[in-house]
Structure 1
Amino acid sequence: MDIVALKGLGIGLLFVLAFVGGLIPLCCIRSHSQGMAESAITRRVISLLNSAAAGIFLSIALVHLLPDVRMIFDKALNITHGGEVEGGGMAMGFDWAGFTAGVGFLFVVFVEQLMMWCLESSERTDNTASDTSHLVKSTTRESDTDGHGEYGALRERSPSECQSEASITVQRGLDDLQPLTSFRAIVLLVSLSFHGLFEGLALGLQLEEQDTIDLLIAISIHKGIESFTVLLRFAQLPGRDVLKWSSLVIFSLTSPIGIGIGIPLADPSVNADALLVNGILQGLATGTFMFVTFVELLPVELAGKDDRLLKCTCLIAGFGLMCGLTQI
């Protein structure tokens, strides 16, 4: 088979694998749409899947991405310094691969904290306005209950009204957290999309048919799993179907787009600047994987009292699965 036709086959194959892998959680998880018992079962399943996803992301960051970043930096620095670098992404005694991964991690932490600060500032403003309104209503209520004050007002409320107010309060808290949860899901989507784009670019730049086949097999094996894990985060967001389906289409197109870019650029010559840009972006993506693993997934799942050993088993299984697939 002609190598260009083989790469064209890879475009269609990777798109289908990513789309089907992401379609499964979107179709199976209906957030906030089931009864209480079903929601409890769904939350337990999602919690176990999140634990497995944490292991997968940890493996992607440390076993798959970080070594690739070091290899890319070695190639670029060898070209720039005439083969005098120490190896392992090192130049002038400094680990550039680890540095870019750390910058990616800290950048996401900074942006998230900035977003939380903005949300808290908005909440304080809303609470100030709410307290003023409540003071006026309390004064009016005291005059209407002939000196009984708040006790009289509470006595007049039915249990259903109190329960309704509690539900509104809980829902308001969930709504306040919604922008932060969406931000984290989008960060994960962007990082995996960059990774998929450069995977496709690497495939499109291959010059030998056998190398193209080997790389296509390696990418295909974990493409569906990556799509499943990233769309699992979006499937848990209430509402916003447009965001969920748009994310599925965007992620499914990243690797095919990378292949399409790489096909006309396939050239035996190697550009050091292009390699450095590739390595920096891949390193930043590595940092975002570490953030998702150590800040978002693991603290939440391991803090729960239920299914501790089962969650640890899923975590180890996800890590081992992705490590095994990386070695194929």
Structure 2
Amino acid sequence: MAELAWSPVAAPRPPPGLGAKLGALVLLLLLPLGCGLGPLCCFTPGPGADAHSAVLSLVSCFAGGVFLGTCLLDLLPDYLRSISAALEGLRVTQLQFPLAEFILAMGFFLVLVLEQIALAQREPPPAAEESRSLLPNGSIQTPPASPSPNPGARGAVRAALLVLALALHSVLEGLALGLQEADGAVLRVCLALLLHKCAVAFSLALKLLRARLRPRAVAACLALFAMMSPLGVGLGTAVAAGAGPRQRLCRGVLEGLASGTFLYITFLEILPQELGVPQHRVPKVILLLAGFALVTAILFIKM
């Protein structure tokens, strides 16, 4: 009786960088959530809030330097190589239109449009007195005062729009991490995101508490905000697993959108907000350069 030969079947290899992405996913969920829940236990409106704001501003400047270095020295070169390889795989070699730069700009404008729409919904309408002051006295009748909406309901709506805008940011940020393949790139992007998200979570909690939202509502908003970056990491990891030319092109497009998000956060969110305040200018610049130098040193050691 002939014996049947048995040969072991090789198990499918996990995607590259999967272990680092899982660790980053857990950190991106727990650390920002912990930083956001901290003010719920120790928030006291008064002079102490100014000290918290000063420390938070310095941390944001360091995070801005890390974001700037990660975007210019790491994400952008990887994205340009990825989109070039994807187009070559589809045999598109003589494209006259600057497609790579256009995709990058679309990522920038995507976040800009979403944030401005959210801010437009939050801003109160202009006061009627400003327009009436330009007219002669008695030329216009003062309209009867309309009943003002409930301040608590208005604050809840504005808080919801703020959390929604930040959640969309976080998904795109996590997408940039999930699309990485090398462990070193995953760790560098994770460092940038952790610094930024922890500072944003702490600031978000303070804003929501100052708006007099209930602690349970604040905790729910923080939990939603903390879950968005891990969601983006999962989506990016799923897209990065594709090996076909169309999957590589899709991955390159998403990398460009994510890189545009990093550019927007660095140049229109972190740097103008922090450097536009006159206090602590020199320490802010030093921390900005320190964050950039940290990413530069990590990339140099890697080489």
TM above 0.5: yes
Considering fraction of residues, name the structure with more helix. Answer: 1
Equivalent position amino acid for 2:200 in 1: R
What is the letter of the counterpart of residue 196 of structure 1?
A: L
* Alignment-derived partner of residue 247 in structure 1: 225
Out of 270, 273, 276, the position equivalent to 1:297 is: 270
Instruction: Flag structure 2 segments of 5+ consecutive residues without an equivalent.
Output: 1-10, 130-141, 210-217
Check if 1:308 corresponds to 2:281.
yes
- 1:320 matched to 2:289? The reply is no
> Aligned equivalents of 2:78 and 2:100: distance in 1?
9
Tell me, in whole angstroms, the C-alpha distance in 2 between the residues paired with 1:108 and 1:65. Answer: 17
Q: Match of 2:166, as an amino acid?
A: A
From 53, 58, 73, the equivalent of 1:43 is 53
1: CA distance, partners of 2:160 / 2:31: 25
Secondary structure of the residue aligned to 2:61 is: helix
Contact 1:18 1:252 in 2 (8 A): yes
Q: Which residue in the other structure is 2:202 paired with?
A: 235
Question: Does structure 2 conserve the Cα–Cα contact (< 8 Å) formed by 1:21 and 1:224?
Answer: no
Deviations 1:67-89 (A, max 9, x none): 1111111111111227xx3xxxx
In the alignment, the residues of structure 2 paired with residue 7 and residue 302 of structure 1 have an alpha-carbon distance, to the nearest angstrom, of 36
Kindly indicate whether residue 36 of structure 2 is the aligned counterpart of residue 33 of structure 1. Answer: no
**Where do 1:12-91 residues align within 5 Å?**
12-30=22-40, 33-81=43-91, 85=93, 91=94
Q: How big is the shift at 1:14?
A: 3.2
Q: Could you tell me which of 141, 164, 179 is aligned with 1:198?
A: 179
Note the alpha carbon deviations across 1:86-111, whole angstroms, 9 max, x for none: xxxxx524432221111111232233
Superposed CA offset, 1:256-304 (max 9, x none): 66557767x6xxxx41211111111111111122111122221121111
Residues 221 and 116 of structure 1: is their aligned pair in 2 closer, same or farther, counting only changes over 3 Å?
Answer: closer
Aligned to 1:123: 125
Q: Which amino acid aligns with 1:249?
A: M
* 2:114 equivalent to 1:133: no
- Give the aligned residue type for 1:59: G
Matching of residue 187 in structure 1 with residue 168 in structure 2:
yes
CA change 1:261–1:68 in 2 (3 A) is closer
For the residues of structure 2 that align with 1:19 and 1:117, how far apart are their CA atoms? 29
Q: Secondary structure at the match of 1:132?
A: coil
- Verify the 8 A CA contact 2:179 2:239 in the aligned structure 1: no
1: distance between equivalents of 2:87 and 2:81?
10
Q: For residues 280 and 8 of structure 1, do their structure 2 counterparts lie closer, same or farther at Cα, with a shift above 3 Å needed?
A: closer
Kept in 2: contact 1:48–1:314 (CA 8 A): yes
Q: Name the aligned partner's letter for residue 174 of structure 2.
A: S
Q: Is the 8 A contact 1:61 1:286 kept in 2?
A: yes
Residues 239 and 247, structure 2, Cα contact 8 Å, conserved in 1: no
**Deviation of residue 183 (structure 1)?**
4.7
Residues 23 and 34 from structure 1, CA distance in 2 versus in 1: closer, same or farther, beyond 3 angstroms? same
Say how many residue pairs are matched: 265
SS in 1 for 2:144: helix
Deviations along 1:28-67, whole A, 9 cap, x unmatched?
4459922422211100000111111222222222222211
Structure 1 or 2, whichever has the larger Rg, is 1
Letter of the aligned partner of 2:221 in structure 1? L
The verdict on how the C-alpha distance between 1:9 and 1:93 changes in structure 2, with shifts beyond 3 A counting, is: closer
Aligned 8 A contact 2:171 2:232 in 1: no
Q: CA–CA distance in 1 between the matches of 2:110 and 2:19?
A: 37
Change in Cα spacing, 1:131 to 1:272, as seen in structure 2 (3 Å) is farther
Describe the SS at the equivalent of 2:49: helix
How far, CA to CA, are the matches of 2:254 and 2:238 in structure 1?
A: 19
Please state whether the residue corresponding to 1:133 is helix, strand or coil.
coil
3-state SS of paired residue (2:145): helix
**SS in structure 2 opposite 1:290?**
helix
Q: Once the 2 structures are TM-superposed, how far is the Cα of residue 310 of structure 1 from its aligned partner?
A: 0.6
User: Is the alpha carbon distance of 1:244 and 1:7 closer, same or farther for their aligned partners in structure 2, counting shifts above 3 Å?
Assistant: same
Is 1:95 the equivalent of 2:73? no
Counterpart-to-counterpart distance in 1, 2:266 and 2:236: 26
Separation in structure 1 between the aligned mates of residue 125 and residue 225 of structure 2, nearest angstrom: 29
SS at match of 1:81: coil
Q: What is the percentage of aligned positions where both structures have the same residue? A: 21
The change in CA–CA distance for 1:323 and 1:232 in structure 2 (over 3 A counts) is same
Is the 1:25–1:231 Cα contact (8 Å) retained in structure 2? yes
Paired residue for 2:116? 113
Please, what is the CA RMSD of the aligned residues? 3.8
User: Retained in 2: the 8 A contact 1:227–1:251?
Assistant: no
